[in-house]
Amino acid sequence: MAGTEADRVIVSLIINEMKTLKLWKRKTPSWVFSYNNNTNTYSRQDFFEWMQFIYLPNKFIGIRTNTENIALQAKSHFEHDMEKGRLLQLLIQLDGLI
């Protein structure tokens, strides 16, 4: 099942914003290959890696995840970092599409 056009547009904007903020990784971290969906504890950096390598690819192709309110999760990792305001706005929009 493919994601909706709105999903794909927002995910693409999120990817671009993560690249702008230098949160986008070129190389897949090793933990991704042994990812356990039942583990919900992420360090600040692991959260952005999880979002890049697990959440966004699944969202892009339309796979429903058990993750709700990605924006609230992200906000807790931003730690008052105003530079990430645009990214948070995009995640709020993505949550609104679910």
Q: How confident is the model at residue 1 (pLDDT cuts 50, 70, 90)?
A: very low
**What's the pLDDT tens digit per position in 45-94?**
688 898 899 888 887 776 666 666 788 888 887 767 777 888 999 998 88
Kindly give, in sequence order, each residue whose CB lies less than 8 Å from that of residue 95, ignoring residues fewer than 6 positions away: 68, 69, 70, 71
Q: Which residues of 2-26 are buried (b: 16+ CB within 10 A; e: fewer)?
A: ebeeebeebbebbbebbeeeebeee
Give the distance, in angstroms, between the CA of residue 72 and the centroid of all CA atoms in the same chain: 11
Map residue 98 onto helix, strand or coil: coil
Q: What's this model's pTM, rounded to 2 decimal places?
A: 0.76
* DSSP conformational letter for 51: I
Written as one letter, the residue type at 82 is M
